[in-house]
Chains A and B, each alone.
Chain A
Amino acid sequence: MKPGVIDYIILATYFLYVIGIGWLVKRRVKTGADFLTSGHSIPLWVTSLAFIATNLGAQEVIGMIASGAKYGALTFNFYWLGAVPGMIILGVFMMPFYYGSRARSAPEYLKLRFDEKTRGFNAITFAVMTIFSSGISMFALGLLFQLVLGWKLTNSILLSAAIVLVYTYLGGLTSAIYNEVLQFFLIVLGFAPLSIMAVWKVGGWSGLTSRASAWMAKQPGFAHNPDVITHTWKYMGHASSNMMGVEWFGMLFGLGWVLGCSYWCCNFLVVQRAMAAKSMAASRLTPLIAAFPKMVMPAVVILPGFAAIALHQMHVPGIMVAKGATFNYNLVLPNLMAQFYPSGLLGVGLTALFASFMSGMAGNVTAFNTVFTYDIYQSYIKKSASDSHYFKVGRITTVVGVLLSIGAAYWAAQSDNIMDFLQLVFGFVNAPLFATFLLGMFWRRTTGHGAFVGLLAGETAATLTLGFSTAEGTGGWFGAIHTFPSAMAQNFWIAILAFTSCLVVTVLVSLITKPKPVGELENLVYGYTKIPVEQDVPWYKRPILLAVIVGVACILFNIWFW
């Protein structure tokens, strides 16, 4: 791939715009609260698009296209099962308590609902995780540009980190959110032509499915059901009949319920976007409105990868390149761009890649900022200072957060295995949280001790499961009692066991410890929170109705591609 002058001009224009937006937002950011929480001032359509854009990091885009090339239509499950249901649950059931409690962060909700130790545990694990995630994605992007453009790793890491630093330092959360919307449009408009051209080339949807099936028929073990690559559910009956090596229960409960909901309902990275909305109603509508574009995103971020298999079957060279006995799936996206995009559009595609990286990293940096400043600094280091003091701390934290991310990126560069391992760990650190929030919001008897011990039990169960099981060479340090058919199955089952242990232990410990007095549960728990009922508003502003529409649409998509 050799970008021309015009491609670099497009990239430079984008950088100017990103920093320009940060500079324009700066005038509006006058207090620490503005900087760290946007002061509840962002319009609904902006929070909704930012809500999904912050998840559309470079790793998500590269990874989903890679997964499309590896698993075909099975990948749709990550959106229609692993994302949309979780977004509906956040909007309908959980947002009233997040917003109603007036908490400034997810850990702070845990403090208000439970106690200091539960908040501290969550805040610290979250802070460490965000730094490593942004470091890992920085490294992933740098590695990609090194492979396809020949750029030095250090150059792309420092360039992208510097730009994210400038605009988040200038305008804080508002700047990050505004930029995420621009990044969202750029990602969609930058990758949609790739999807259209690739699918066109392989002969439309019917050409795509027949060629992908023909390729599948040549793979060992799938000769009798080559159409496995074109269905989401049909071959989920048994782990051995699909390439993911996952059966329906692990898929439904592990991905859909535990991992999907713990990410979309409890990860402050995304929840922060909904909390920045203007009102309780708008905060509930944020994930629900976001679910509509999210549902059709696979057309842009999965379909090109799926088409890559069909192109490979047509003997088009240079897209699915070999890596050992298998393919280098992470290169499918840049390879497709190199084959389809002429100079000009290539610049847009590369810019979209940068944009996806920045939206992911800025999300991590702003969430880290808020959690560090309010949940760690204000709670443990300096309790009562002026707002301007925390404003200053927030700004300094931005710089420190970016520097730590760069450090994490170089640490990840030491070994590819560290990266895989960390991603596995992050998967299960979040999993038990969903049980904690669910019980906290809907069972008033849940106690602080229960929540804390439950979380520890969840993490312990996850660690033990990983330690005592193996799959494709991961885990099993304490001896392998069980072997999973695939790393993905292992990941889903770790989440299931972590969630269940957390749930059971939280309930048991809560029953033998003293609950909070009812007076202190106002706006934190179901039954003691006034949830506004929208009466005089048009239908499209009613959360429940929207949730039903998006839920039915999502089920229809599942049936359509079953």
Chain B
Amino acid sequence: MDDLRVPIGSFFVILGVMLLIAFFVITTGPPLSSPRVNLWCGLAMLAFGAIMLLLARRGKA
């Protein structure tokens, strides 16, 4: 493996997408949760993963 940023980036992109799906599919949550938490966390993880992948690409070029 050449660059650890690729697996880490792709992992968090997948995680982000899953949370976004969860946001649309799951409507119930525990008492203290807020309804949009899956959305925000999904977007944050998607962004983190994308930045990692971008850094890996730039590092290669």
Give A contacts to B, CB under 8 Å.
4, 6, 9-10, 13-14, 17, 20-21, 24-25, 27-28, 43, 46, 178, 181-182, 185, 189, 193, 197, 201, 316, 338-345, 347-348
A10 in contact with B26 given A189-B44, A201-B32 (CB within 8 Å): no
- The one of B15, B34, B41 that contacts A13, using a Cβ cutoff of 8 Å: B15
Number of chain B interface residues as a range: 20 to 34
| Docked-complex contact B37 and A189, CB < 8 angstroms | no
How many Å lie between the Cα of A527 and that of B55 in the bound state? 42
Please give me the residue from chain A that is nearest to B23 by CB atom.
A344
- The one of B8, B32, B33, B42 that contacts A316, using a Cβ cutoff of 8 Å: B32
How many Å lie between the Cα of A228 and that of B41 in the bound state? 34
| Docked-complex contact A6 and B18, CB < 8 angstroms | yes
B45 lies within 8 A of chain A by Cβ: yes
How many Å lie between the Cα of A270 and that of B29 in the bound state? 39
Nearest CB in chain B: distance from A353 CB, A: 15
Q: Give the residues in chain A near B42, CB-CB below 8 Å.
A: 344
A17 in contact with B11 given A25-B1, A344-B23 (CB within 8 Å): yes
Which B residues from 2 to 45 make CB contacts under 8 A with A? Answer: 4, 7-8, 11-12, 14-15, 18-19, 21-23, 25-26, 28-34, 37-38, 40-42, 44-45
Please give me the residue from chain B that is nearest to A22 by CB atom.
B1
Can you report 15 residue pairs joining A to B where beta carbons are below 8 Å apart?
Answer: A6-B21, A6-B25, A6-B26, A9-B18, A13-B15, A178-B1, A182-B4, A189-B45, A201-B32, A338-B30, A342-B26, A342-B29, A343-B29, A344-B19, A345-B41
| Docked-complex contact B1 and A28, CB < 8 angstroms | yes
Nearest CB in chain A: distance from B45 CB, A: 6
| Docked-complex contact A178 and B4, CB < 8 angstroms | yes
| Docked-complex contact B37 and A342, CB < 8 angstroms | yes
Q: Give the residues in chain B near A340, CB-CB below 8 Å.
A: 30, 32-33, 37
Please give me the residue from chain B that is nearest to A27 by CB atom.
B1
Nearest CB in chain A: distance from B51 CB, A: 11
| Docked-complex contact B34 and A197, CB < 8 angstroms | yes
How many Å lie between the Cα of A340 and that of B41 in the bound state? 13
Q: Give the residues in chain A near B4, CB-CB below 8 Å.
A: 43, 46, 178, 181-182
Q: Give the residues in chain B near A193, CB-CB below 8 Å.
A: 37, 40-41
Please give me the residue from chain A that is nearest to B42 by CB atom.
A344
How many Å lie between the Cα of A345 and that of B44 in the bound state? 12
How many Å lie between the Cα of A182 and that of B4 in the bound state? 9
Nearest CB in chain A: distance from B17 CB, A: 11
How many Å lie between the Cα of A343 and that of B24 in the bound state? 11
Q: Give the residues in chain B near A9, CB-CB below 8 Å.
A: 18
Q: Give the residues in chain B near A43, CB-CB below 8 Å.
A: 4
Nearest CB in chain B: distance from A174 CB, A: 9
Please give me the residue from chain B that is nearest to A319 by CB atom.
B32
| Docked-complex contact A342 and B38, CB < 8 angstroms | yes
Please give me the residue from chain B that is nearest to A28 by CB atom.
B1
Please give me the residue from chain A that is nearest to B31 by CB atom.
A339
How many Å lie between the Cα of A201 and that of B33 in the bound state? 10
How many Å lie between the Cα of A229 and that of B18 in the bound state? 39
How many Å lie between the Cα of A345 and that of B26 in the bound state? 11
Q: Give the residues in chain B near A338, CB-CB below 8 Å.
A: 30
Q: Give the residues in chain B near A178, CB-CB below 8 Å.
A: 1, 4
| Docked-complex contact A343 and B15, CB < 8 angstroms | no
Please give me the residue from chain A that is nearest to B19 by CB atom.
A344
How many Å lie between the Cα of A197 and that of B26 in the bound state? 19
How many Å lie between the Cα of A246 and that of B31 in the bound state? 38
A342 in contact with B33 given A4-B26, A28-B1, A46-B4 (CB within 8 Å): yes
How many Å lie between the Cα of A291 and that of B13 in the bound state? 28
